[in-house]
Structure 1
């Protein structure tokens, strides 16, 4: 019998149920997939059950092994439903317009996906929906990003009855199955980018939703607000650490320096980050990756200088890290940027 509780600040079990539905096409035995985690489908149906991030990561890793399908993120995204996201999905589904639905998702996404955040910006006739992620467990992190980016487009079509065309930048290496799925995805996907963002026509924000219902939406919003108070904002600490790690004048700060600024011991800082499913080194590496991609887009600095700015002792170490992040070397990336 599993000892998981409904108050654990992890991921809702509903996402594992979604994974179970996706892997059915490969005839995966559910018991074989869930048994190592001490779980079964009946337990996962508890509406408020949340699972530790490392447990979900283990289940997903096992799914990759059993299906031998690297394209799982695409299948998950295309099979993602608004109901997968609980009351947030219901609130968004019954909003008046796409803009209102996105506003609700921005406000409440931390209820379902700790460490994730959405941000909508508009520039002239273009809308940009940014997705940030503080989760660092792999392969769960990159899969969640890819599945959400695909899922957002799929759910937008369900909400409006119209296809959301645009361009999606994703900060992960290209999936080996991408070419086979690209023709059915409404957005043009660009991999290895410094951030996750979907760009689309601003006019789409005013599109009315097919299931708009003001009273139902308000009820869902009130429930989300109650859950927000109950679960707290544990991801705020992770974001605070992210903001403190890099300083334009000092560069990348050490864990000791960040702990000092926060008036806590290094041990306490590491423990709190571990409780949120990440670590100082994971956040530091993610920030280095983002900054590396941005700097390499400009020819004004040499790769040696960029490596130095990022805190690497030599170009070889930087090159190894960059190839691990993007699947290509800094020089190759710069030539193709």
Structure 2
């Protein structure tokens, strides 16, 4: 992930550092050297690169000896930790509105994951995706983010709408029982999606904390923050996000250009200026999703190929062998 595409407010970094301190661990010298006085005069890390963030998470787990470190951080991230997005969610008039706000403005809190609301009959899922591969910090990041957002949903609904299931794409860790205790619901591992599901019947029930005027002001601030971040983000990251939002039907170069309010030629030229192309981004996303689907083992190879836009299984097999050096069937075995 390019640092221009990485965004994480300093208060989240402080929460990680605070949890390390609470567990009796001395903060690494390199992190202390990055601290600068914040607006309130307290020292904080204001500009952390993605590589430094990965290093911090790895060292937090290694130094504390706690593989469930992500869950412990997520449990301590309260509503006020999520800034204007948390405030907007609390003042939403319904749970559906709160979930749609998270889907639309999640980027104002972090670029580590993106969110999509998927309603399928009686269940509605909040599905989290990786715009860029998280690598070996995937599990703690996903555990922290999904737990804190699940707790936010519990807070705004006052427990009326219970989360039914939490799903993770990785295999069950040794601390799976702790995860089930903290989530307070069924937690499934090895799935083909990441996030949580809840009953659709409660989505439109009025929330007691709803405040139309406060919500309007909060959403305007979210729009301003999102516009600022979008301007700072590289074009390739914006194209990548568009593709991840449309998994199973990736937008063409022409459609992507239209969505980004530019001509296909301009989009092609600007991506070239960033050292990439539409085809390269699509290839990278297909590679990443193919590996994840095959690791999960929930779909047949034919289904994976279809989801990634291949109309011929043999074309998918050839592409996968080019990416990983082995056929998808061998990789799965």
Alignment of 1:197-276 (within 5 A): 197-232=195-230, 234=233, 235-240=237-242, 263-264=268-269, 268-270=273-275
| 1:40 paired residue number | 35
Instruction: Evaluate the alpha carbon distance shift between residue 27 and residue 221 of structure 1 in structure 2; reply closer, same or farther with a 3 A threshold.
Output: same
Instruction: Evaluate the alpha carbon distance shift between residue 43 and residue 117 of structure 1 in structure 2; reply closer, same or farther with a 3 A threshold.
Output: same
Instruction: Evaluate the alpha carbon distance shift between residue 94 and residue 240 of structure 1 in structure 2; reply closer, same or farther with a 3 A threshold.
Output: closer
Instruction: Evaluate the alpha carbon distance shift between residue 56 and residue 100 of structure 1 in structure 2; reply closer, same or farther with a 3 A threshold.
Output: same
Q: Does structure 2 retain, via aligned residues, the 8 Å contact 1:168–1:187? A: yes
Instruction: Evaluate the alpha carbon distance shift between residue 129 and residue 315 of structure 1 in structure 2; reply closer, same or farther with a 3 A threshold.
Output: closer
TM-score normalised over the length of structure 2? 0.73
Partners of 1:47 and 1:271 in 2: CA distance: 35
The RMSD of aligned alpha carbons is: 4.2
Q: Does structure 1 retain, via aligned residues, the 8 Å contact 2:75–2:147? A: yes
TM-score normalised over the length of structure 1? 0.72
* Counterpart pick for 1:135 among 132, 135, 144: 132
Gaps spanning 5+ residues in structure 1: where?
249-259, 274-278, 323-329, 332-337
Instruction: Give 1:230 deviation, angstroms.
Output: 1.6
Q: In the alignment, is residue 123 of structure 1 matched against residue 120 of structure 2?
A: yes
Instruction: Give 1:114 deviation, angstroms.
Output: 1.7
Q: Does structure 2 retain, via aligned residues, the 8 Å contact 1:97–1:206? A: yes
Instruction: Evaluate the alpha carbon distance shift between residue 291 and residue 61 of structure 1 in structure 2; reply closer, same or farther with a 3 A threshold.
Output: closer
Gaps spanning 5+ residues in structure 2: where?
251-264, 304-312
Q: List per-residue Cα deviations over 1:272-324 (Å, max 9, x = no partner).
A: 99xxxxx98864542222342577534979xx9798355226998458995xx
Instruction: Give 1:166 deviation, angstroms.
Output: 1.0
Q: Does structure 2 retain, via aligned residues, the 8 Å contact 1:135–1:141? A: no
Q: List per-residue Cα deviations over 1:217-239 (Å, max 9, x = no partner).
A: 22211111111222216341223
- Structure 2 residue matching 1:311: 3-state secondary structure: helix
Partners of 1:40 and 1:204 in 2: CA distance: 44
Q: List per-residue Cα deviations over 1:131-183 (Å, max 9, x = no partner).
A: 12213233334322222222222122222221623112222333221123323
Stretch of structure 1 that moved more, 310-319 or 56-65: 310-319
* Counterpart pick for 2:20 among 19, 23, 39: 23
Instruction: Evaluate the alpha carbon distance shift between residue 263 and residue 307 of structure 1 in structure 2; reply closer, same or farther with a 3 A threshold.
Output: closer
| 1:175 paired residue number | 173
Q: Does structure 2 retain, via aligned residues, the 8 Å contact 1:270–1:280? A: no
